[in-house]
Amino acid sequence: MTYQGLIHRYGHLLDLPAHTQNISLLEGNTPLIPMPRLGKEFGCELFVKFEGLNPTGSFKDRGMTAAISEAVGRGAQTVICASTGNTAASAAAYASRAGLRSIVLIPEGKVAAGKLAGAIAYGAEVIQIQGSFDDALSLVVEITQKTPIALVNSINPYRVEGQKTAAFEICDVLDNAPDWLCLPVGNAGNITSYWAGFKQYQKGLPQVLGVQAAGSAPLVLGHPVDNPETIATAIRIGRPARGEQALEAAQQSNGRIIAVSDAEILSAQKILASEGVWVEPASAAGLAGLIAESAFGKFDASGKRIVVVCTGHGLKDPSVITDSFTSPKVIPANYEALISLVGG
Ligand code: F0G
């Protein structure tokens, strides 16, 4: 049967109310790409779960199909979220598809071009906040407590239900859970969802390596960060809403949450691209964490089966690449100029 989206495929395993009306863009079913060359360096069997191939270019579509399907079924007319960009684009797309109004609050000047463009293109009312993602999240929580507007951040439990499906898919492809799962951690909805998904699916449990950016690492530092900074703007978050659950997932899985520098993130992004997988900076944090832990000897990858979750597509944040390279060379439009540049 042709693929009909996540609620169709896994809805029986998701705790969604009876009023849910399936709103889908055929999200999910993303590839688990083998990375044999890179895996060899760690002596492990390595895979990338490439979530950038979802309809709006990030894993957020998994939770959004669930959250919007529930919201529209209960008669909501307007949805709202705070976002570092990907949630905004996803909420806008699914809300438009369902005929709902969407409002997204983003930190001023700190959202990557591809995400902002997406949110606008899909029809969201975009509001910039003179503050951080964390400030925006407090505001949307307040307005949804005081008005009928529906909240579609991952505080919304249906977001977590939808995002559990990534764990199901990995187990379906590998037959079992991997030994390790490495992924970026921002507001901590995704790590919470994966852990819930693996526990529910009963195909074994991975150890979980959650990775924050060093300038935005409240879960590593053990306290909130008031002015988070990182080039990985998707995870530029100082007060993760599901921080406790993220720490629980790391602890229960006998894994850990670590921080990596922006330089390590950019280096991992390059390595992934050199294997044909271009992801946005935050999405490279999982691999950066794996590399750092291996280098420090804290991690023996040998013989293990490891899945690195790449949460968003490189096209979301092209300026990270174009800003750091000189422009391509310009030549006259003739063969002589071309062959003299390229060589024979
Ligand atoms: N990777 C990407 C590409 C993201 O956009 C996010 C979060 C994360 C990782 C972290 O996931 O928050 O569940 O721990 N982006 C949110 C947003 C905050 O607004 O798009 P998390």
Spell out the per-residue pLDDT of the chain, length 344, in tens: 899 999 999 999 999 999 999 999 999 999 999 999 999 999 999 999 999 999 999 999 999 999 999 999 999 999 999 999 999 999 999 999 999 999 999 999 999 999 999 999 999 999 999 999 999 999 999 999 999 999 999 999 999 999 999 999 999 999 999 999 999 999 999 999 999 999 999 999 999 999 999 999 999 999 999 999 999 999 999 999 999 999 999 999 999 999 999 999 999 999 999 999 999 999 999 999 999 999 888 888 899 999 999 999 999 999 998 887 778 899 999 999 999 999 97
280 ligand 1 Cβ < 6 A: yes
- Of 170, 177, 204, 208, nearest in space to 191 by CA: 208
Quick check: 270 and 224 in contact, CB under 8 A? no
Query: What separation in Å is there between the alpha carbon of 46 and the centre of ligand 1?
Result: 22
Ramachandran region, residue 12 (left: φ > 0; alpha: ψ -120 to 50; beta: rest): alpha
- Of 63, 122, 72, nearest in space to 96 by CA: 122
Alpha carbon nearest to ligand 1 atom 5, residue: 234
Q: What percent of the chain has pLDDT over 90?
A: 95
Q: What does residue 310 show for φ and ψ, rounded to 5 degrees?
A: -105, 105
Query: What separation in Å is there between the alpha carbon of 224 and the centre of ligand 1?
Result: 17
116-174: pLDDT as tens digits: 999 999 999 999 999 999 999 999 999 999 999 999 999 999 999 999 999 999 999 99
126-141 per-residue burial string, b: 16 or more CB within 10 A, e: under 16: beebeebbbebbbbbb
Query: What separation in Å is there between the alpha carbon of 223 and the centre of ligand 1?
Result: 19
Cα–Cα distance between 33 and 296 in angstroms, integer?
Answer: 26
Cα–Cα distance between 187 and 60 in angstroms, integer?
Answer: 12
Ramachandran region, residue 143 (left: φ > 0; alpha: ψ -120 to 50; beta: rest): alpha
Query: How many other C-beta atoms can be found within 10 angstroms of the C-beta atom of residue 332?
Result: 8
Segments in the chain forming alpha helices (H): 6-10, 36-42, 60-73, 86-98, 113-121, 133-146, 157-163, 165-174, 189-201, 218-221, 243-252, 262-274, 285-295, 319-322, 335-342
CA dihedral over 336, 338, 341, 344, signed as positive or negative: negative
Place of tokens 């720490």: 247
Cα–Cα distance between 116 and 133 in angstroms, integer?
Answer: 14
Tell me the C-alpha to C-alpha distance, in Å, between residue 42 and each of 39, 46, 47, 228: 5, 9, 12, 32
Per-residue model confidence (pLDDT) at position 54: 98
Alpha carbon nearest to ligand 1 atom 15, residue: 234
Token duo for residue 215: 């300038």
314 ligand 1 Cβ < 6 A: no
Element spanning 184, H or E: strand 180-184
Query: What separation in Å is there between the alpha carbon of 93 and the centre of ligand 1?
Result: 17
SS3 11: helix
Cα–Cα distance between 280 and 276 in angstroms, integer?
Answer: 13
Per-residue model confidence (pLDDT) at position 324: 73
Query: What separation in Å is there between the alpha carbon of 199 and the centre of ligand 1?
Result: 22
165 ligand 1 Cβ < 6 A: no
- Whole-prediction pTM value? 0.97
Quick check: 63 and 160 in contact, CB under 8 A? yes
